[in-house]
Structure 1
Amino acid sequence: MARYGQLTRRTAGPNIHLMSSPSPSIGQILGHYRILEQIGAGGMGVVYRAHDERLDRDVALKVLPPGALADEPARKRFRKEALALAKLNHPSIATVYDFDTQRDVDFLVYEYIPGVTLKDKLSHGTLPEIEIARLGMQLAKALTAAHKEGVVHRDLKPANLLVTVDGQLKILDFGLAKLIRTSSEEDPTASPSETYVAAGTLAYMAPEQLRGELADLRSDIYSSGAVLYEAATGQRPFPETYVPRLIDSILHEGPRPPGRLNRRVSPALENIILKCLGKEPEQRYQSAAELHVDLERLSTPGRSPTTHTGRYRNFARRWPVFLALCLAAMLAVLMALNTGKRRGRLLNYAGTPHIQSLAVLPLENLSREPEQDYFADGMTDALIANLSKISALRVISRTSVMRYKKVRDPLPKIARELNVDAVVEGSVLQSENRVRIMAELTDAAADRNLWSEQYEGDLRDILVLQSNVAQAIAKEINIRLEPREQTLLVNTRTINPEAYQLYLKGRYYWNKRTQEGLEKSLGYFKQAIEKDPSNSLAYAGLADCYVILAGYNLRPPGEVYPLAQVAAKKALELDGTLAEAHTSLASYVWDYERNWQAGLREYERAIELNPNYATAHQWYSESLMRIGRRDEAIAEIQKAKELDPLSLVMNAVQGFVYYFARQYDQAIAQLKNTLELDTNFYPAHVFLGWNYEQKGMYAEAIAQLQTAMSLSGGSRYVTPGLAHAYAAAGQKARALELLNQLRQSSERSYVDPYDIALIYAALGDKDQGFMWLEKAYWGRSESLTFVKVDPRMDSLRSDSRFRDLLRRLNLPPD
């Protein structure tokens, strides 16, 4: 259990004693506390989780090192001061319960708090400014309460600050640095650094502590600034590790301004941190209450801290004059230009940058529990979906942004890769039926924070919270919303919390796009509907599942497409604005009913409702291609790829569309680009093989399809293309072998009849080809709807049976 692992570690001076006597064993009872497990160890003692047998609760029990309390008077003094600490009563201070001695073992008992230390939390990266302000305010409030009681911590550091699962800050080891006396403190020959290193961790200590002076409440202010500095920049104010050099830096040098290490740190937060880190106590905040005031201003929209430090003070005095001169100059320029167009450009440049595209990066799961990843991913999806309703804004789709979930590159680099103007990042914490969302908007080019805010509420109101976040971002970037879009963004509906979480789990597994994941998602969507029959999102998810199962040939189309129709219509009956449900219904109408006119209308309605829904653009592109509208199809798949630029599917399908447009060179170039993203993505090898075959490059075609066969584990999706290539290359025996394998498989499980018809066409057996095309027709094969444009069917086009098939499929003539 790592959460207490760093709580008792510190930089030890030469005379600090580490525990050498036998430590309590697991199961042993000290007083009325039963030892359960060791959860930390360091210079100030060993920490255990123990159970209070009297009050039936878990506690943290710290066994002090031998020699810390050298005699009975020292022990009595410790007991007296520990009991004084026990009177500190604040929600952000870990409560001291008891001090006792049993069998020469001195131990302190205090509140046991599940959570993670701030040190562990910062190991994952810097925190958003809104979260720094929130945690800083809790820290300042707790220090204010302690300082009023005359108690100074003396050892504030990230390892002594715990963050609970619901985001509550807890200060640990309050006053312990003063209580534990070591021999070095009584040694008149010890240097100040040796003496006072024992009273705190060196890198976070105030200069006066290093000089051997008494610490007061302003020493805690300095340490608080060091903690905030690390939370904002990811490093300590003075990162030196060589102790003499570190001491010299703390005493005589200034820290690098946080904004130089992290451009997203606002000037206001930088000023607060630098004021905390003043070399002399008089240069810092004179109380934790003052620090709290500025942090509260920082976290409140429309207000800014009044703090100015060092070089900022003189500028602050001159600011009104400077501002007036700037405004006068700007007005003169605008009057000289005298054109509305130019004036608009200048005003826009002076304010919020012109943002036409953005990416929502995966929200951080603050619980750190992997089983809660589905919730954080679901909140990311929801924010993307809400912002995607804005037609004037290009929003990157889920698949592309999820590539940054584990590895966070610098924001400008991410923005370049995704081709966006701005980035939204943040975090989410769900605890029982409460949820907190923190979001931050950054100008990607300048790596400059534009806006940050925190939203908290009941899980029943999660749709309202999501809507509020999206509306706030839309307002911040000054994007023009159509009246219809304003209506779409507003959501005041409450939901069943349990049903919503089941829905999010369903989406989590649906996005895996594996047979196992799809089956799991079906189960979760059905459970969500059982809990809440009015859950339109769950019905839409159910429809999406059935469509994918049919599209991937995992279930017979005649089995699952009617189920998709029922689910999609129910979703739209409950909420007619769901683009996902319109898209699934379009797939049913097009692929199953073969009503391409009605199917195209459904796709167009989906795109109207959510112009940034990449899947709708993709499926619409494929549908346009099937009826021969090549230019429109190419434009739509290009749009889908712009919305999801790192998606392997979108990149490969662009090559797929070029193939059916018979633009083989463009297709090959695009598919090679796809394989640069992931050389193991087997569908790209499949499509590449198809294109090579049409160019007469049979050896290359067969090599690509064999690679796809190997990567896919022998997928039946690859087999017909490989058999067709063998036949085209004159290797008919190999083609027949694969054909027989498919026919045998069709007796045990679903095999698309169109795939078998393809091979017969390549072998020149028209009668068998048309027989299997008839089976595909009556079996509602989705692949059959590509027959009008599939180059591999060219050998059958002159036959009257082919023209009759196109007529019955309602496909328009050439």
Structure 2
Amino acid sequence: MKVLIADDNPMWTKLLAKTVERYDFESVTVDNGRDALRELNDEDPPRIVFLDWQMPDIDGLSLCRKIKQSDKRPFTYVVILTSRDAEQDMIAGLEAGADDYLTKPVESVVIRSRLFAAKRIIEAIPPAEWSKPQVPGYEVHRVVGKGAFATVWEATQLETQRVVAMKLIRVDLATEQVFSRFAREIEVMKRMDHPNVAHVYDAEINSKLGYIAMDMVKGVTLQTHIRKNKPSPLELIKLAASVCDGLQHAHDHGVVHRDLKPSNIMVDNENQPKILDFGLCKSMFGATSPEDSAESVDGLLIGSPLFMAPEQAKGKNDEVNPRSDIYSLGVTIYMTLLRRHPVVVSTDDRSAAIKEAASGSVERPTKLNPNFSKTLEKILLKSLAHDPDDRYASAADFADDLRAFASNRENKAAEANTPL
């Protein structure tokens, strides 16, 4: 990856170039802002740029603004370099659009950390040709989310003037397996028609393009909803019951989500949850293609470790069924109410987290909080049973118990402030 170093101090430029090349990056050096701009307008421009604040012709801040204001240039990671360490100078640099700000002299290990952080960010952003994807029948506006294989855009369906969330496959990553998984997601999402599942309006996939146009949920993820709005425990329980309704709809249509977690649950402006992202879903009616079968080979882990059911964490994907989703939702509810995972798991070691999730030894809520309701504890422990046969038989049954608990508490006005 090319790195542009624009600095009129020869000694500093040479030192930076040696550091950049030591870590297998290609350095391009200039000593003024005008030559730096010429390099940035090249057909293959540098994607990481170190700009000295004070340079001849065009200073670093002005050049940074030009880089960041151009909608024709691919994303460029800009680091402002300066000998000035005043706080207001740092603020000015960041307000000009810089991604980082370093005060000279800088240790080589710091430069290295910035290079690899910049590289990771650049590689995670869609290529330049995706700055405004052209989709027939739609006006595409802006990126609202990025994933490993797809990017989500806000778009307008021209015929209906409906604003949608458009999930597009990243062309640069579109292998046959990715297209196959995306095609399965389209097939699954088209079956759904429920207020607690994101609705699909349109979808298409061919050798060059794949997209799903679905509800543009005006809201936030569950964890953001909790952080911003601080809903009461009873509100969270009722919200979880609505998630159960969406799950039951999916299960009724032969679909197990397999990756249910707070980031896959959106809460709209009316406080209604919607389940998103069926990209890891599994048909209850058997694999429909060789790719489906390959993704369900015994021992292959699919999903997020913190929310996996024990059978899923053990890689026993032939045993994954609707009760696995119930376990994942049980983990979500437990964590929202008690602010910790029901099983003691490692948050920074995926391998250890998977083993710990597979053990399934859930800590009783009343052990963490003696005032926690024993009735609600019983409901949660049933959803989190290690043996799937001991869990709720259906998401609808889980919803019934959650709603009954909430209704009972609401009907006891005198106990309105009683801890869960």
TM superposition score category, shorter chain reference: 0.5 to 0.7
Deviation per residue, 1:519-540 (Å, 9 max, x gap): xxxxxxxxxxxxxxxxxxxxxx
Deviation per residue, 1:73-118 (Å, 9 max, x gap): 9747853662342121111110122322478342222111101110
The yes-or-no answer on 1:64 pairing with 2:179 is no
CA distance in 2, matches of 1:259, 1:182: 47
* Structure number having the greater helix percentage: 1
Structure-2 residue corresponding to 1:280: 387
The yes-or-no answer on 1:93 pairing with 2:69 is no
Q: Give the alignment of 1:66-215 within 5 angstroms.
A: 70-71=175-176, 75=179, 78-79=182-183, 82-101=186-205, 104-123=208-227, 127-174=231-278, 176-178=280-282, 186=294, 192=299, 195-196=300-301, 199-213=302-316, 214=318, 215=320
Structure-1 residue corresponding to 2:139: 34
Backbone CA RMSD of aligned residues: 3.6
Deviation, structure 1 residue 54: 2.1
Q: Is the contact made by 1:210 and 1:247 (CA closer than 8 Å) also made in structure 2?
A: yes
Amino acid corresponding to residue 323 of structure 2 in structure 1: R
Relative distance call for 1:221 and 1:55 in structure 2 (3 A) is same
Deviation per residue, 1:765-811 (Å, 9 max, x gap): xxxxxxxxxxxxxxxxxxxxxxxxxxxxxxxxxxxxxxxxxxxxxxx
Q: Is the contact made by 2:313 and 2:355 (CA closer than 8 Å) also made in structure 1?
A: no
SS in 2 for 1:107: strand
Counterpart of 1:290 (choices 394, 397, 415) is: 397
SS in 1 for 2:255: coil
Q: Give the alignment of 1:690-729 within 5 angstroms.
A: none
Relative distance call for 1:66 and 1:272 in structure 2 (3 A) is farther
Structure-2 residue corresponding to 1:266: 373
Relative distance call for 1:29 and 1:280 in structure 2 (3 A) is same
Q: Is the contact made by 1:27 and 1:34 (CA closer than 8 Å) also made in structure 2?
A: no
Q: Is the contact made by 2:185 and 2:281 (CA closer than 8 Å) also made in structure 1?
A: no
Amino acid corresponding to residue 280 of structure 1 in structure 2: D
Relative distance call for 1:97 and 1:38 in structure 2 (3 A) is same
CA distance in 2, matches of 1:61, 1:23: 18
TM-score normalised by structure 2 residue count? 0.60
Q: Is the contact made by 2:181 and 2:279 (CA closer than 8 Å) also made in structure 1?
A: no
CA distance in 1, matches of 2:254, 2:314: 22
Relative distance call for 1:102 and 1:252 in structure 2 (3 A) is closer
Relative distance call for 1:19 and 1:261 in structure 2 (3 A) is same
Relative distance call for 1:252 and 1:102 in structure 2 (3 A) is closer
Relative distance call for 1:106 and 1:178 in structure 2 (3 A) is farther
Counterpart of 1:229 (choices 334, 347, 350) is: 334
CA distance in 2, matches of 1:136, 1:191: 31
Amino acid corresponding to residue 139 of structure 1 in structure 2: V
Q: Is the contact made by 1:20 and 1:66 (CA closer than 8 Å) also made in structure 2?
A: no
CA distance in 1, matches of 2:129, 2:206: 11
* Structure number having the greater strand percentage: 2
SS in 2 for 1:109: strand
Structure-2 residue corresponding to 1:240: 346
Q: Give the alignment of 1:589-738 within 5 angstroms.
A: none
CA distance in 1, matches of 2:128, 2:363: 43
Counterpart of 2:154 (choices 46, 49, 57) is: 49
Relative distance call for 1:139 and 1:224 in structure 2 (3 A) is same
Deviation, structure 1 residue 68: 6.8
Relative distance call for 1:219 and 1:441 in structure 2 (3 A) is same
SS in 1 for 2:251: helix
Bigger Rg, which one: 1
SS in 2 for 1:286: coil
Q: Is the contact made by 2:248 and 2:394 (CA closer than 8 Å) also made in structure 1?
A: yes
Q: Give the alignment of 1:513-524 within 5 angstroms.
A: none
Deviation, structure 1 residue 164: 1.2
CA distance in 1, matches of 2:328, 2:251: 14
* Unmatched 5+ stretches in structure 1: 1-17, 305-351, 353-423, 425-438, 443-447, 450-814
SS in 2 for 1:301: helix
Relative distance call for 1:131 and 1:301 in structure 2 (3 A) is same
CA distance in 1, matches of 2:226, 2:366: 18
Q: Is the contact made by 1:154 and 1:175 (CA closer than 8 Å) also made in structure 2?
A: no
Deviation, structure 1 residue 163: 1.0
Deviation per residue, 1:169-215 (Å, 9 max, x gap): 11111354459x99998489x983xx32xx32111111111222232
CA distance in 2, matches of 1:124, 1:302: 24
CA distance in 1, matches of 2:373, 2:230: 14
112-121 or 81-90, which moves further after superposition? 81-90
CA distance in 2, matches of 1:68, 1:108: 17
Relative distance call for 1:262 and 1:24 in structure 2 (3 A) is farther
Deviation, structure 1 residue 42: 2.3
Counterpart of 1:251 (choices 358, 361, 381) is: 358
Deviation per residue, 1:388-431 (Å, 9 max, x gap): xxxxxxxxxxxxxxxxxxxxxxxxxxxxxxxxxxxx9xxxxxxx
Q: Is the contact made by 1:140 and 1:291 (CA closer than 8 Å) also made in structure 2?
A: yes
Deviation, structure 1 residue 440: 4.3
The yes-or-no answer on 1:441 pairing with 2:417 is yes
Q: Is the contact made by 1:85 and 1:174 (CA closer than 8 Å) also made in structure 2?
A: yes
Structure-1 residue corresponding to 2:60: none
Structure-2 residue corresponding to 1:474: none
Deviation, structure 1 residue 59: 0.7
Higher relative contact order (CA 8 A, sep 6+): 2
Deviation, structure 1 residue 34: 2.1
Q: Is the contact made by 1:35 and 1:50 (CA closer than 8 Å) also made in structure 2?
A: yes
Relative distance call for 1:90 and 1:295 in structure 2 (3 A) is same
Amino acid corresponding to residue 365 of structure 2 in structure 1: P
CA distance in 1, matches of 2:202, 2:280: 13
Q: Is the contact made by 1:127 and 1:232 (CA closer than 8 Å) also made in structure 2?
A: no
Amino acid corresponding to residue 257 of structure 1 in structure 2: R
Counterpart of 2:406 (choices 299, 317, 320) is: 299
Relative distance call for 1:277 and 1:76 in structure 2 (3 A) is closer
CA distance in 2, matches of 1:25, 1:148: 37
Relative distance call for 1:23 and 1:223 in structure 2 (3 A) is farther
Amino acid corresponding to residue 130 of structure 1 in structure 2: L
Deviation, structure 1 residue 125: 8.7
Relative distance call for 1:153 and 1:90 in structure 2 (3 A) is same
Relative distance call for 1:222 and 1:67 in structure 2 (3 A) is farther
Identity of aligned residues (%): 30
Amino acid corresponding to residue 312 of structure 2 in structure 1: Q
Relative distance call for 1:230 and 1:77 in structure 2 (3 A) is closer
Q: Give the alignment of 1:453-468 within 5 angstroms.
A: none
CA distance in 1, matches of 2:377, 2:294: 39
